Amino acid sequence: MNTLLFNYHKLPTSLLFGLGFLFILTSCNDDDGFTPTEPETRTSKVYRFNALNGADLAGYIEFLQNEDNTVDAEIVLTGTEPGNSHPAHIHANSAAETGDIVVTFDPVDGATGRSTTTITDLTYEQILAYDGYVNVHLSESDLTVVAQTDIGGNELTGTSKEYALALRDDSGTTGSLLLEQRNSGETLATITLDSVQNLTDGASHPAHIHNNNAIEGGGIAVSFTPVSGTTGTSMTHIEATDDGTAITYDQLLGFDGYVNVHESAENLGTLIVQGDIGTNELTGDAVTYSLMTRAVAGIMGEATFEKRQNGATLATLDLDGTPEGGVHPAHIHFNTAAEGGGIAVSFTPVNGTTGMSITNIAALDDGTAITYEELLDYNGYINVHLSAENLATIVAQGDIGQNALTGETITYTLDSLAVPSIKGEAIFSQRNNGTTLVELKLQNTPADGMHPAHIHANTAAEGGGIVISLTDVNGATGMSQTQVAAFNDGTPITYEGLLDYDGYINVHLSADELATIVGQGDIGANSLTGNSVTYALNELGGSGVSGTATFAERKDGSSLVTLVLAGTPADGNHPAHIHFNSAEEGGGIAVSLTNVEGASGLSKTSVMTRDNNLPILYSELTEFDGYINIHLSPDDLATVVAQGNIGSNAPE
């Protein structure tokens, strides 16, 4: 029974009436003639208390409207003790602001935890709109607040917004700013710092909302109650900026501002935490671009673009390997890095000590507005320079926006030709806009060399004209980078189109010696799948000439036939053919191959058809009923110097 009474004390009066009626109804029967009447019901409003200063209390205050337009105020608390009496009042303003006493309640009886007061100076409607709060104190002699709640227009609606507070280098204290909407449309702002152990007990840390974003900086717009170094908290009622301009909760959420919490009033230059708010808040949308090493080995990193609520961009450059004390100008340039272009956007220079640069981007340097979405589609690249005095030296570089690489790449081998030591590869990388970055990487090119390079039509074995001119290979680095969006005649070509193109790459010795090829490789449809089969070519008639024939499958299903012979004379020129039937049977010519050059012993032929123009695929050629003959010379075809069965006739 005592438990039941205790629970009753915790309930609002309006609920007690209902429970009392239910008790009477269920305790009587129809025989005693009792006819229950409708219980009194009153309009009421309940506000829950927050316990303060270590008090172990819970409860509420309920305002009940009377018919005579007076108001009964009932305070109910649990955790009070017999013999105690707790003064209670309505104060003007919000609890965060504090204010004078407006209404004095009958003290809360510690034995019951209850207080009932009839208010005649304020109507029920006025209380529900009142700019006030309620305090319950420890005792008459000790006015320490043990329970508190905002009421009326200061009541919180439950709508809130939280912003993270930290330093950009992730050092030191972290925390948050919580903005809570009041019924009046005004705001309760609570700053909470998480790492109280990093603060000084008893210290006071000024805090403000500033105009603009944290990167640009700006004057103070709203002053908070200083953050307590002891608790790490601050509570502020906001209804206007410091200049008196009214500002609502909704307007704060759309405010162009940021928050600073300072070390002290004497040391405002040292920040404890900082955070963008309102329209400057980050949405969570972000993209990161790689910044690759260029002139200085070891300097590399990334650029991260983060979207703000207002559509602008927070750009952070984060580099490794920058020298202590260095200052490195950085910019977004027009076009791709392979093409080069003028400066479009200037970043805050990279600090060599931290490797960091943080910039707010809302417009190009010429004032043209640019949004986050537009930057992600921008035709540009980033350069980070060695210094303001040496802008020509690029220490890190990366394509961005539509020029960023998708991660889709294909690598083609560039084989040695005229100079055996020079070889390498061609890497085709897809950009976001569907065009291609073509990179040539060669080994053993001379330091002072400049090597013209081109994509040609057809296979290397057939030869063909230049269709795309590539940037010359720098002999000192062995590198070449070219942006490819079209053929030399202006016809567009996509990455997918290049991967299916009937072409090959030549790298030449120099602009004066284009006839000398130092690197060569088939690309696109002509690239090799990796499937191949090799057949022996045996000497005949004591010629001393022997070797192999290798059939390699191309992407388009055709074949590259490579003959490699030993023992051919340096001045020799040896016709070669694939014949019908086996060598033992003999037969006519099915496919004419490129003559074997005596000096190198090599012959390469792209085979797509027989001599009668009937198509023949790699899969068909490797099953072909045939053999190969190598002849002594064009003038002596009757003399066969090497021979071998192929396809279905090859020995197992």
| Structural contact between residues 381 and 400, judged by C-beta atoms closer than 8 angstroms | yes
Please tell me whether residues 429 and 391 are part of one structural domain.
Answer: no
C-alpha torsion angle, residues 241, 247, 248, 251 (rounded to 10): -110
The Cα-based distances of 519 to 491, 514, 515, 595 in angstroms read 26, 12, 12, 21
Helices vs strands, H then E, count in the chain? 7, 47
In a domain, 286, yes or no: yes
What gap in Å lies between CA 423 and CA 519, rounded to an integer?
6
Residue 274 has φ and ψ, to the nearest 5°, of -155, 150
In a domain, 24, yes or no: no
Tokens 């965060």 locate to: 96
- The pair of three-digit structure tokens given for residue 372, joined into one six-digit string: 């986050």
624: Cβ contacts below 8 Å, ≥ 6 apart = 578, 590, 616, 646, 647, 648
pLDDT confidence of residue 169: 65
Query: Following DSSP, what letter does each residue of 277-326 receive, concatenated?
Result: EETTSEEEEEEEEEEEE-SSTT-EEEEEEEEETTS-EEEEEEEESPPTT-
Q: Which long-range contacts (CB under 8 A, 24 or more apart) does 168-172 make?
A: 168/274, 168/316, 168/356, 168/358, 169/354, 169/356, 172/198, 172/272, 172/273
Please tell me whether residues 307 and 397 are part of one structural domain.
Answer: yes
Please tell me whether residues 160 and 274 are part of one structural domain.
Answer: yes
How many other C-beta atoms lie within 10 A of the C-beta of residue 528? 17
Angle formed at CA 170 by CA 169 and CA 171, multiple of 5 degrees: 90
What gap in Å lies between CA 86 and CA 488, rounded to an integer?
91
Please tell me whether residues 414 and 437 are part of one structural domain.
Answer: yes
What gap in Å lies between CA 479 and CA 344, rounded to an integer?
27
In a domain, 30, yes or no: no
Please tell me whether residues 560 and 643 are part of one structural domain.
Answer: yes
**Burial grade of 163 (CB within 10 A; 0-12, 13-18, 19 or more):** buried
- Domain boundary among the residues 133, 152, 171 is at 152
| Structural contact between residues 521 and 504, judged by C-beta atoms closer than 8 angstroms | yes
Please tell me whether residues 518 and 541 are part of one structural domain.
Answer: no
Tally of domains in the chain: 5
Q: DSSP secondary-structure letter at 6?
A: H
Residue 31 has φ and ψ, to the nearest 5°, of -75, -20
In a domain, 543, yes or no: yes
In a domain, 202, yes or no: yes
Tokens 């915790």 locate to: 10
193: Cβ contacts below 8 Å, ≥ 6 apart = 165, 173, 174, 175, 199, 227, 232, 233, 261, 272, 273
pLDDT confidence of residue 250: 98
Please tell me whether residues 419 and 492 are part of one structural domain.
Answer: yes
| Structural contact between residues 593 and 532, judged by C-beta atoms closer than 8 angstroms | no
Total residue length of the chain: 652
| Structural contact between residues 492 and 433, judged by C-beta atoms closer than 8 angstroms | no
In a domain, 410, yes or no: yes
- Domain boundary among the residues 401, 434, 459 is at 401
Q: CB-side exposure of 512: number of CA atoms within 13 Å?
A: 1
How many other C-beta atoms lie within 10 A of the C-beta of residue 122? 21
What gap in Å lies between CA 178 and CA 192, rounded to an integer?
8
How many other C-beta atoms lie within 10 A of the C-beta of residue 233? 14
| Structural contact between residues 529 and 629, judged by C-beta atoms closer than 8 angstroms | no
Alpha helix segments (H runs only) across 46-116: none
Please tell me whether residues 56 and 121 are part of one structural domain.
Answer: yes
Please tell me whether residues 237 and 308 are part of one structural domain.
Answer: no
Q: The domain containing residue 622 runs over which residues?
A: 528-647
420: Cβ contacts below 8 Å, ≥ 6 apart = none
- Domain boundary among the residues 278, 293, 312 is at 278
Cα–Cα nearest to 524, from 556, 561, 488: 556
**Burial grade of 387 (CB within 10 A; 0-12, 13-18, 19 or more):** middle
Residue type, 460: A
Please tell me whether residues 265 and 192 are part of one structural domain.
Answer: yes
| Structural contact between residues 239 and 249, judged by C-beta atoms closer than 8 angstroms | no
> Which 3 state secondary structure label does DSSP give 456?
strand
In a domain, 8, yes or no: no
268 conformational bin, left if phi > 0, alpha if psi -120 to 50, beta if neither:
alpha
Per-10-residue mean pLDDT, the chain, length 652: 31 40 36 43 94 96 96 97 97 97 97 97 96 97 97 97 86 90 98 84 95 96 96 96 98 98 93 96 97 95 98 97 97 97 98 96 98 98 97 97 97 94 97 98 96 97 97 96 97 98 97 96 96 97 96 96 97 97 97 96 96 97 98 97 97 87
In a domain, 232, yes or no: yes
Alpha helix segments (H runs only) across 419-542: 495-499
The Cα-based distances of 518 to 189, 332, 420, 452 in angstroms read 71, 36, 8, 10
Q: CB-side exposure of 645: number of CA atoms within 13 Å?
A: 13
| Structural contact between residues 149 and 134, judged by C-beta atoms closer than 8 angstroms | yes
CATH number at residue 600: 2.60.40.200
Q: Kindly report the pTM of this predicted structure.
A: 0.80
- The pair of three-digit structure tokens given for residue 305, joined into one six-digit string: 């673009």
Please tell me whether residues 461 and 542 are part of one structural domain.
Answer: no
What gap in Å lies between CA 172 and CA 166, rounded to an integer?
8
What gap in Å lies between CA 462 and CA 506, rounded to an integer?
13
- The pair of three-digit structure tokens given for residue 327, joined into one six-digit string: 């200052």
Please tell me whether residues 85 and 194 are part of one structural domain.
Answer: no
